[in-house]
Structure 1
Amino acid sequence: MNSNEQINPAESPSQRKDYTDLPLMLYSERSINIATFLGTPVAAGFLIRRNFINLGNETYGKHTLFISIAFTIIFFILIILSPEHIIDKIPNALFPAIYTLIVWYVLKRYQGEALDNHKKAGGSFYSVWKAAGIGFAASVVLVGMFFAYAFATTEDFDSEKYDRKIDVFSKNEEEAMMLYEIPEGASPMRIQGFIRTTGIPAWERNLVILDTLDAIENLDGLLIKQNGLLREYSQLRIALFKTIDSSFSVDSDKYETKMIEINGKIEAVLEDLNKLK
């Protein structure tokens, strides 16, 4: 063989010179797509690399593997950096579908002709199960790396400070909710006085506490969500207390619907808080 002679990866086995007694085997398009869906573009990189090597282009094989790893890293970094509320709305299967489609396009462009020629010439293909196994193995490795990274980068937050502030929050809540312990026949002046001097100030103190909690570094995502719900809960309580206060100054029927609406929102927030437990 002339050392300067290049092997065309698009040639079928019947067009290639017989440099070896071993039959040429390739990973089919279907196998690569399955491996990609299961194991990200990293799995595709290994399979496409093997195809290039078997077709006599080891340089392309090396480049393919490097690009597949780099693409996977960039892809997942973008996902991690995306706002959580956006990621939550995206179906889980969409991400594998996106990168599988990209790999399919690249495969068609750079190996499509070679795979078609190989199939027409009756060439052999590696088992789909072997490709799926490589995809599964790649996914296991990537998941392990992800958890290792998450564990290594997770920093403890000041849980004692958080718990202390939550205790104060609960005491303020208990103090404010004493409104409902006032006897039914109490004068409007007594109820309004409690709302203005005790109830609303207690909820406002809780909003300040939540500002402090939000400022704690390395706070767990679940606690951040809890803080948001507690803030909404406190704001709704303030709105309800103000509505109750106003109902004594004018026709109470005017505010009854508003109080029912606010109470409904409070119940919804409390349900969301219970789901976090």
Structure 2
Amino acid sequence: MEQVTSSSLESENDILPVPPEYKINIEKGILIATFIGGPIAGAILIAENFNRFGKETSARNTWVFTILGIVLFTITLFYTRILEILSPITLPFLYTGVISLCYYNFQDKLVKTHLTNDGPIYTIDRSLLAALIGLIIMAPIYFFAYRGIENIGSL
């Protein structure tokens, strides 16, 4: 039978978990990117986090639901004339709120675990790049949604 000494117990307790090597996007960056660049920017960062966490199916679902959401959102803007009732500035708050709910429901615990294990995070620069990409993609959609289908020919 092996004799257990206090020094052998101390060495076993001194072993710390290895911090993850992959970087992730945190809530602040995701929400800033979403507000500036639209739901595409939020989807870029959330899907990237899912891929980092090894949840490829969730990353794919993020894209499917984002594209469906944008299509339904755009159709709603075109046909309900909701922008005549609401100020256009309310739209970024609306889709940032939706992305925030998705983040809290699907990634908050994973991100907190990553940060607890001293995992690295991306800087805000990466979020701003995603915002720029999202803005380039979403700007024409917003433009035409705001102008209306009947005004497209009079550009």
- With the length of structure 2 as denominator, give the TM-score of the two structures: 0.75
CA contact (8 A) 1:39 1:136 kept: yes
* 5+ residue gaps, structure 1: 1-13, 157-219, 221-277
CA contact (8 A) 2:39 2:134 kept: no
Q: What is the CA distance between 1:82 and its match in structure 2?
A: 2.0
CA contact (8 A) 1:41 1:69 kept: no
* CA deviations over 1:132-175 (Å, ceiling 9, x no partner): 2211221112224566898x98447xxxxxxxxxxxxxxxxxxx
Work out the CA distance in 2 between the residues paired with 1:90 and 1:140: 23
Work out the CA distance in 2 between the residues paired with 1:146 and 1:98: 14
Higher relative contact order (CA 8 A, sep 6+): 2
- Report what 1:53 is aligned to: 51
Provide closer, same or farther for how the CA distance between residues 105 and 146 of structure 1 changes in structure 2, counting only shifts above 3 A: closer
Q: What is the CA distance between 1:115 and its match in structure 2?
A: 0.8
CA contact (8 A) 1:45 1:69 kept: no
* CA deviations over 1:177-207 (Å, ceiling 9, x no partner): xxxxxxxxxxxxxxxxxxxxxxxxxxxxxxx
Q: What is the CA distance between 1:15 and its match in structure 2?
A: 8.2
- Report what 1:115 is aligned to: 111
- With the length of structure 1 as denominator, give the TM-score of the two structures: 0.44
Larger Rg: 1
Q: 2:37 aligns with which of 36, 39, 46?
A: 39
- Report what 1:64 is aligned to: 62
Q: How do residues 1-277 of structure 1 correspond to structure 2 at under 5 angstroms?
A: 14=17, 23-83=21-81, 87-144=83-140, 154-155=152-153
Specify the code of the residue in structure 2 equivalent to 1:99. Answer: Y
* 5+ residue gaps, structure 2: 1-16
Work out the CA distance in 1 between the residues paired with 2:138 and 2:87: 20
Q: Percent identity?
A: 21
Work out the CA distance in 2 between the residues paired with 1:40 and 1:117: 27
Work out the CA distance in 2 between the residues paired with 1:145 and 1:40: 11
SS of the residue corresponding to residue 124 of structure 1 reads: coil
Specify the code of the residue in structure 1 equivalent to 2:32. Answer: I
